Chains A and B, each alone.
Chain A
Amino acid sequence: MSILLFITFLSLATASLLLWLFVERQRRVLLRVGSALLYLGFGVWTLELVLRYISYSTLPVYDLSSSLFFWGWCGLLIFTAFNSRFKLSVFSFLFVGCASLLIILSALTATPKAPISPYLKGLWFHLHVVTVFLGIGMFLISSTAAFLYLWVDHLLKKKRLSHMRFKLPSLAIIDNMGHYSITLGFFFYTVGMLTGLIYSHASFGRYWQWDPKEVWSLLTWILYAILLHERLALGWRGKKASVLTLICFSALLFTFLGIGHMGRGYHSFKVFTGGP
């Protein structure tokens, strides 16, 4: 783990802890220090990303570790934008904790630097990766919201009300947040798939190759399309929508991490780093 990555992890993990304490104790100073650490962590993370970009002279997204790294960064980028709108301390604690977990996972799966495939360059590669990751960054937020929704719903139903004074956000706000993030996430994910087609055509001369990752991301896209349809057209909300969000997210996790790791197809992480 590089020193910058370590600082990022440390400040985000501490930020998450302080934000949790703020929820429980309601002392302003905890929120202030927690937010400051959150921005510090994000800043250092960005710096590390820029350094990696310069070192690889392209977007450093080529294996599991680097994907987790960039995913977490995108998520946190969107989150900081979201946070100024929703200002939910409970959510911050969950999400920032999630981001610091991604940092740790990224560090644990890190491999020695290897030459990366020449395909991972150029405008279409950048567009494809950035839009896909913004999309799945949004999905990360929506599933955190879904998790929070189920938790608050559980507390309200079971009448575990010692938590009342913890300033839990209202169900309406959490649901609203889930709605926003899924709509936007779906938009980015769709654009990501389209740019992927163009990128594939530009690099390999074919739009679609029935590569496992392509198929699975199409399936994931369909799942999210169903979720969005239920929400928009059928007015699904609350518990059912949250459960479906979590199901969609597990499909996404498999597509994104599982398939890339199984080592078949041109999307495989092994191919990217020129491994055996």
Chain B
Amino acid sequence: MTDILLLGVSYKTAPVEIRERFAQAPDYNRRIYSSFRGSKVIREGLFLSTCNRFEILTVSEDPKGAREEVLDLFRSIGGIERDGLVPLLYEKRNKEAIAHIFRVASSLDSMVIGEPQILGQIKEAYRSATEHKTTGVILNRLMHRAFHTAKRVRTETGISESAVSVSYAAVELAKRIFNELKGKCALLVGAGEMGELAAKHLVKGGISRLLVANRNLSKAVELALPLRAIPHSLEELEDLLWQADIVIVSTGAPDYVISYELMKSTSKRRRDKPIFLIDISVPRNVDPKVQKIHNTYLYDIDDLKGVVETNLNGRRAEARRAEGIIEEEVLKYIKWLETLEVVPTIMGLQRKVEDIIQMELKKSKAFIQRLSDEEKEQLNVLVRSIAEKLINDPILFLKNKSGKRNLQMYVDIAQQLFNINQNGNPIKER
């Protein structure tokens, strides 16, 4: 029986001090691959190393032996004694291992559910394993199914749709109001770090113009340069507010920088053009009353955190839906694995038939040589179609039995009936 085994440590089971030992171990790549290749037990192997997890996946006929070898690998790479290691590890076999890989690839097991990087990391791990030729039929198929599953989860659920960081939430909210950032003007007031980050997100999101205002003009210039923004002094605030669609306020001022009265008069000048104010300063720098003005939307840091929290909850709900997809794909893969068990017997059967044909043709060589080319061809077709038709039903029968409980019995009977051995090789006639 083929056995799929997965052993790993992740952020769920091991603290960062342990995880970093695996990620930083010198030359672990080569050590793992050469250990796979040198192993008599492990038929196929692959490993995944990210900052949040280190996992080794193997295929063998001997689960116990494979487990020992993988544990040895963990010990030597992590530099941890066996007794200390075991409680940090999780161990999954067959169905569970398959489901785990699918879940990891779909980012359901990630620290931030739905984050997109993990799929790339798994693809990279798989590519590296194929380069070292340590994967085979089973892992190749498994990984391709994992990529397929991840894609399904991404397109069929909303798992990675919503923003889960404060500055990205600001961009998302801006899009709820303006639909797109193209052609819009943003204003960054103050030099707070969070504000700068949010401004960077806006620039990345496609904002057309960015203005930077600071009490200290030289500071504004300094801040504007890397963002390719236009620096202004804070005295021009009223004019700047008139131009801006999105305003990020992040100063250290102890009171309101944007008062209700200022916003009210600006709003008139703006002719009700919508404006989105993001106040990430503590204490707050925008009077909460401005929210009452038409087409003026104000979000403070707590509001943005609230958005992130709701989005995370949404992702968790979507993750529950994704589990259904995972289950479906695992079943499909297991079904395929089961057909794999009858494959050697079927191939043995086909090889045997081919051998018989060749042998019999050889016996009648003298007769065949007298035939014309066309007749030779016809004879060949005739012989083959008789032989193929004869073994067609037994093959179909075996395929239909794959996955059934008494499969092994039928495989045995077929092997005895046609006199082929376990690996599908014809048994030499005595």
Closest 7 CB pairs of A and B: A170-B179, A172-B179, A235-B271, A238-B295, A165-B314, A239-B294, A171-B177
Interface assignment of A80: CB less than 8 Å from any CB of chain B: no
Residues of B within 8 A of A239 (CB): 272, 294-295
Q: How many chain A residues touch the partner (CB < 8 A)?
A: 23
Interface assignment of A3: CB less than 8 Å from any CB of chain B: no
Whether A161 and B307, one on each chain, are in contact in the complex, defined by CB atoms closer than 8 angstroms, is: yes
**What are 5 A-B interface contacts by the 8 Å CB criterion?**
A152-B176, A156-B177, A170-B177, A172-B274, A237-B272
Interface string of B273-309 (1 = CB under 8 A from A): 1100000000000000001001101010001001100
Interface string of B143-166 (1 = CB under 8 A from A): 000000000000011100110000
A161-B310, A162-B310, A170-B177 given as contacts; is B158 within 8 A of A240 (CB)? Answer: no
Whether A159 and B311, one on each chain, are in contact in the complex, defined by CB atoms closer than 8 angstroms, is: no
> Whole-angstrom distance between the alpha carbons of A252 and B60 in the complex?
77
A164-B311, A236-B272 given as contacts; is B303 within 8 A of A159 (CB)? Answer: yes
- How many chain B residues sit at the interface, stated as a range, is 20 to 34
> Whole-angstrom distance between the alpha carbons of A234 and B178 in the complex?
20
> Whole-angstrom distance between the alpha carbons of A171 and B299 in the complex?
16
Interface assignment of B175: CB less than 8 Å from any CB of chain A: yes
Among B178, B295, B297, B303, the most chain A Cβ lie within 10 Å of the Cβ of B295
> Whole-angstrom distance between the alpha carbons of A159 and B169 in the complex?
13
Give the secondary structure class of A's interface.
Answer: helix
Residues of A within 8 A of B306 (CB): 159, 161
- Extra contacts, 7 of them, besides A159-B299, A164-B176, A238-B272 (Cβ < 8 A), are A28-B156, A162-B310, A164-B310, A171-B177, A173-B179, A235-B273, A239-B294
Interface assignment of A113: CB less than 8 Å from any CB of chain B: no
Interface string of A14-53 (1 = CB under 8 A from B): 0000000000001010000000000000000000000000
Interface string of A169-190 (1 = CB under 8 A from B): 1111100000000000000000
A157-B291, A161-B307, A238-B294 given as contacts; is B176 within 8 A of A168 (CB)? Answer: yes
Residues of A within 8 A of B291 (CB): 157
Interface string of A220-239 (1 = CB under 8 A from B): 00000000000000111111
User: In whole Å, how far is A1's beta carbon from the nearest beta carbon of chain B?
Assistant: 39
What is the chain A residue whose CB lies nearest that of B172? A164
Task: Point out the residue from B161, B179, B272, B273 that lies within 8 Å of A165, measured CB to CB.
Answer: B161
